[in-house]
Structure 1
Amino acid sequence: MVEKYSIRTDLALEDKERFEEENVEVQGVVLEEEYDEEWEVKTTTVRIQTENGAKTMGKPAGTYITMEAPNMAVPDEEYHSEISEKIADCIKKLMNGKNCKKRGEDWSVLIIGLGNRNVTPDALGPYVADNLNITRHIVKEYGKYAMGKEEVTLISALVPGVMAQTGMETVEIIRGVVKETDPDVIIAVDALAARNSKRLNRTIQIADTGINPGSGVGNHRNAITQESVGVPVIAIGVPTVVDAATIVNDAMENLMEEMEHSEALKGVGVVLQGYHAAEKYELVRELISPHLNGMFVTPKDIDDTVKRISFTISEGLNMLFAGKEPAE
C-alpha cells in the first residue's frame, strides 16, 4: 500500500521517515544521527547502498547528509558562521567518499547556482553564486602566486537560469562549460521542496548523487549527475517551499490530535488514524480544490531568509576552498 502513494519531497530524510511511520524496513538503507547540543543542530546521514534501496526510496544510491538547524531562520551571525563550518565539513566528507581526484596541479571546482533569480523562493542558487570568492580567472591570468598561497583552488561559477529563459536544458549548458573548463568536481546549489513545513529554511541537504533541477515543484528536468556531465556532482539544497496539500495535511494531523480529546469527534479521529501517512496525504490531495493542487507555499519573510541562507552556504564554500585542498 505504501508504494501506491508518494509524498512530494526532495529530502531523503523525509522519505526514510515515511517508511518508519509505516513500520516498513527498507533493505539497503542505513541511517546515522548525531546531535550538536551546543548549537542545537541535528545531522542525519542516509546512505542508500543498494539498487533495491534506491528503488524503494525513489532516490539514487549514494549519501545524503541532512542538517536540521531550527535557528537558521534567525539572523544570528555567530550561529550562521557555525553552520557554514558544518557545511564545509559535510562537503569535504562527501568529496573524500566520492573519490574526487585532483587532475591538475590545483583543484578546479565549478559551482552552479540553479534556479530562477526572479522568483525569490527559487533564487537560492543564483544568490549563492553572487557571494562566492571566484578565483579561476585570476589564477589563469596571473598564476596562483597572485593569490599569495602555495595551493589554490580554482573556483568558477555558473548561473544557467531556467529553460523558460534560455530555451536549453540546464544539463546541456553545464556539459558545454565542463568541456571547456574541465573542472574536477561540480557543486550544484538549488532550492528544494519539503513535506514538513517545519523544515522550511531550517534544513540543508548535501548529497553526492547529483540533482534534478525543478523536481521539487514537479518540473522535472534532466538530471545533473556524474553520468550526465562527466565529473562528480555534489548537490546542496534548502527546502524553501511546500505544496498546498502538505499544509492541509499538517492541519489535519493537528485536528486529529484535538479529536482525541473530544468525545463528540473521537470516532471520526479513530477512522482517520487508520490511514497511513501517505494515504492521508493522497486523500487531502483529492479533497482540496483542483486549483490548489498545484500550489506551492513559502514563508512571508522568504526574501530576507533566502539571502541570509545563501550567504551562509557561500561562506561555507569559501571557507572550504580558501587555498586548501578539500581532501585530507
Structure 2
Amino acid sequence: MLGNFHVRTDLALEARESFEEDDVKIRGVRVETREDEEKEIRTTLVKIETENGARTMGKPVGTYITMEAPNMSGQDEDYHREISEELAYHLKKMIGEREQSVLVVGLGNRDVTPDALGPRVVSNIEITRHMIREYGRAALEGKRANEVSSLVPGVMAQTGMETLEIIKGVVEETRPDVVLVIDALAARNTRRLSRTIQISDTGINPGSGVGNHRNGINKEALGVPVISIGVPTVVDAATIVGDTMEEMVETLDSSGKVRGFGGALGTLNRVEKQQMIRELLSPHLNTMYVTPKDIDETVKRISFTISEGINIALGGMA
C-alpha cells in the first residue's frame, strides 16, 4: 500500500512508524530511543545506513534525530533552556568540535507565521564572521571562534529564484565549512505539532511535506555538509479526519454501543485509512493544511529556543 501512497510528513520518525504499524522490518534502518524522564525529552535516532533502507523510507541515507518535548509549546523558560542544551549537544556531535565557518540559513516566508520559523531563528543568531574578519579571533574574548554568518533567502514567490540558487551563490562566494538550515516542517500526527525538533545531516527539501517540491539543499548540491533543523508547524486536513475517524471507531466498538461499527475499517491500517480519506475529500480539502490557533506565540517562543541551542553549539553563548 505504501508503494502508491506518499505519507505527508517531513519526519523520518513518522515515516518509520508507518512500517511499524504493518509490522514491517526494514533492512538498513536502525532505530534507537532514549527517554530522559527528568527533562521530559524523548530522543529517537533513525539511522538509514543503506540504499535499500533509503528507497524504502523515501529519505536519503543519513542520521535523523528527533527530540519530542511535550511541553515545548509552553512558557516554562527553564524547560526551554533544557531543550536548547539538548539541541546544542546533538548539533556539536554533527558539526564537530573544531572551529570552522558556519552559514546559518533560515528557510521560509517571514510573512506567513507557520512558515516563519527559519527567518525568526536567524534573527536571534549571534553573528561573528564580520567581527573575526575585521578584528581577528581575539574579538570573541575566549569563546569558540566559529565564523558564523547568516542568510534568509525568502521564497520563490518573493524572489523569483529557487532557494537553492540563492544559497549556492552565497556558498560559492563565502566558502563556509558547514551550512545549517532551519525550516518549518509538516507532520502526520497532531500531537507532534510544535512539540518536536528534527535534526538531520542529510540536508532538506523545502516544501516537500506539503507537496511543494523544490530543489534539495544538501551536500551534493552545495559541495559542503548540510545539517538541517526543523519543527512541524502544520498538519494536513486528511490526517486530522483520519485521527478523528480512528478514535471514533475505537470508542464506539469498545463501548459496545454500536457493535461492529468499524466493520471493514477495522481491517485497514492507518496509512490505508488515510488514503481512503484523501480519495473521499474534495480536491479543495485534500490540499488544506492546518496549524494551531496560537501559532504566533508558539513560533516566536520556539524560534528563541532553537536559536539559543545553535548559539550554545557554536560557542556564542555559555
Q: TM-score range by the shorter chain?
A: over 0.9
Deviation of the 1:92 alpha carbon: 1.5
Deviation of the 1:4 alpha carbon: 2.5
**1:209 paired residue number:** 202
Deviation of the 1:323 alpha carbon: 5.8
Pick one of 94, 117, 120 that aligns with 1:124.
117
Q: Is the 8 A contact 1:51 1:61 kept in 2?
A: yes
Q: Which runs of 5+ in 1 are unaligned?
A: none
Seen in structure 2, the aligned counterparts of structure 1 residues 133 and 323 have a Cα distance that, compared at 3 Å, is closer
Counterpart Cα distance in 2 of 1:150 and 1:256: 57
Write the letter of the residue equivalent to 2:13. L
Q: Deviations over 1:289-327 (max 9, x none)?
A: 221110000000000000100100000011111269xxx
1:251 aligns with 2:250: no
Pick one of 131, 146, 150 that aligns with 1:153.
146
How do 1:5-20 and structure 2 match up within 5 A? 5-20=5-20
Counterpart Cα distance in 1 of 2:31 and 2:144: 36
Deviation of the 1:146 alpha carbon: 1.7
How do 1:203-282 and structure 2 match up within 5 A? 203-263=196-256, 265-282=258-275
Deviation of the 1:267 alpha carbon: 1.9
Counterpart Cα distance in 2 of 1:317 and 1:151: 13
Deviation of the 1:214 alpha carbon: 1.1
Seen in structure 2, the aligned counterparts of structure 1 residues 151 and 263 have a Cα distance that, compared at 3 Å, is closer
Deviation of the 1:150 alpha carbon: 6.7
**1:62 paired residue number:** 62
**1:138 paired residue number:** 131
SS of the aligned residue for 1:172 comes to helix
Deviation of the 1:264 alpha carbon: 5.4
Write the letter of the residue equivalent to 2:203. G
Deviation of the 1:265 alpha carbon: 2.9
Deviation of the 1:2 alpha carbon: 3.1
**2:294 paired residue number:** 301
How do 1:38-187 and structure 2 match up within 5 A? 38-96=38-96, 106-149=99-142, 151-187=144-180
SS of the aligned residue for 1:110 comes to strand
Q: Is the 8 A contact 1:149 1:323 kept in 2?
A: no
Q: Is the 8 A contact 2:126 2:316 kept in 1?
A: no
Q: Which runs of 5+ in 2 are unaligned?
A: none
Counterpart Cα distance in 1 of 2:175 and 2:50: 30
Write the letter of the residue equivalent to 1:215. S
Q: Deviations over 1:137-159 (max 9, x none)?
A: 11111111122127411110000
Deviation of the 1:263 alpha carbon: 3.9
Q: Is the 8 A contact 1:121 1:240 kept in 2?
A: yes
Counterpart Cα distance in 1 of 2:134 and 2:308: 25
Q: Is the 8 A contact 1:43 1:66 kept in 2?
A: yes
Counterpart Cα distance in 2 of 1:264 and 1:88: 51
Q: Is the 8 A contact 1:46 1:65 kept in 2?
A: yes
Q: Deviations over 1:78-134 (max 9, x none)?
A: 0000000000011122234xxx9x6xxx41100000000000000000000000101
Write the letter of the residue equivalent to 1:37. E
**1:310 paired residue number:** 303
SS of the aligned residue for 1:187 comes to strand
Deviation of the 1:7 alpha carbon: 1.6
Counterpart Cα distance in 1 of 2:108 and 2:2: 32
Q: Which runs of 4+ in 1 moved over 6 A?
A: none
Seen in structure 2, the aligned counterparts of structure 1 residues 34 and 150 have a Cα distance that, compared at 3 Å, is closer
Q: Is the 8 A contact 2:143 2:315 kept in 1?
A: no
Percentage of matched positions with identical amino acids: 62
Q: Is the 8 A contact 2:144 2:314 kept in 1?
A: no
Q: Is the 8 A contact 1:84 1:313 kept in 2?
A: yes
Q: Is the 8 A contact 1:160 1:173 kept in 2?
A: yes
Counterpart Cα distance in 1 of 2:251 and 2:37: 31
SS of the aligned residue for 2:254 comes to coil
Counterpart Cα distance in 2 of 1:27 and 1:270: 34
